[in-house]
Amino acid sequence: MAPSSIASRLSSSQSSLKPLIIYWVIGLVVGLFVLRADIAQVATGFSTGHVISIGVGLLATLVTMVAYDRVSMGGGRSLHLPTLVAFPLLNGLCETILFLASFKLGTALAAPFTTQPLRLFLAGTVTFFAYSGAIHALFWLKILPPHLDKSPAVKNIRRIWIIGLVAVSSIWGWLYFGYQDFWSVVVLHAIFDAGMVYSIRYRLS
């Protein structure tokens, strides 16, 4: 067996379904107690601003996905279609709950001190970014196989990718804060996750 194939198998074996299931269950429990009303509400009668926000969010998501594809590596792994379908659906819902719950926490902490929408939005964005950064460093980097290309050749694309991540997260927070639109964020997150699975050839195991 070629060394690359051995490395790929070892990387795949380190990915565990158990911590993912625990993470997703936590998301569902948080959703039940913290975001139940938001989950039950389906946006109707979209305003012009709402539609534009969704469009900008979709564009930012696609650009960031393309940049991510350029700075990531599949490690010789083959595309696993069941994961390409299941992971975006499960993580798109469950992690979005946790993302938006962290955003809601920030607005709740700021509410006793201000009623200005911009300050409330910024407070939610800070706690959302803090949670997102922590969960990626402490959880996702251990779950996902090594996949980022750190070579100087893609340095500029990495910058675009990082800027894209900030833009995407900000728009997700705005959709939730400005329009109480939970489900559009879920869809955008699922699209983003599908791109991740495709780019690094991630496989649930």
Could you give the number of structural domains in the chain? Answer: 1
> Which run of H or E residues covers position 30?
helix 17-34
20 inside domain: yes
Q: Which residues of 169-184 are buried (b: 16+ CB within 10 A; e: fewer)?
A: bbbbbbbbbebebbeb
Burial label, 33 (beta-carbon count in 10 A; 0-12, 13-18, 19+)? exposed
Percent of the chain scored above 90 by pLDDT? 82
101 inside domain: yes
Q: For position 164, what pLDDT does the model report?
A: 96
Q: Which domain holds residue 29?
A: 3-200
DSSP symbols for 69-129:
HHHB--TTPPP-HHHHHHHHHHHHHHHHHHHHHHHHHHHHHHTTT---HHHHHHHHHHHHH
pLDDT tens column, 120-165: 999 999 999 999 999 999 999 999 988 888 888 899 999 999 999 9
Q: Categorize the per-residue pLDDT at 14 as very low, low, confident or very high, splitting at 50, 70 and 90.
A: low
Instruction: Report how far residue 192's alpha carbon sits from residue 172's, in angstroms, rounded to the nearest whole number.
Output: 12
205 inside domain: no
15 inside domain: yes
Per the listing, tokens 């930012």 go with 60
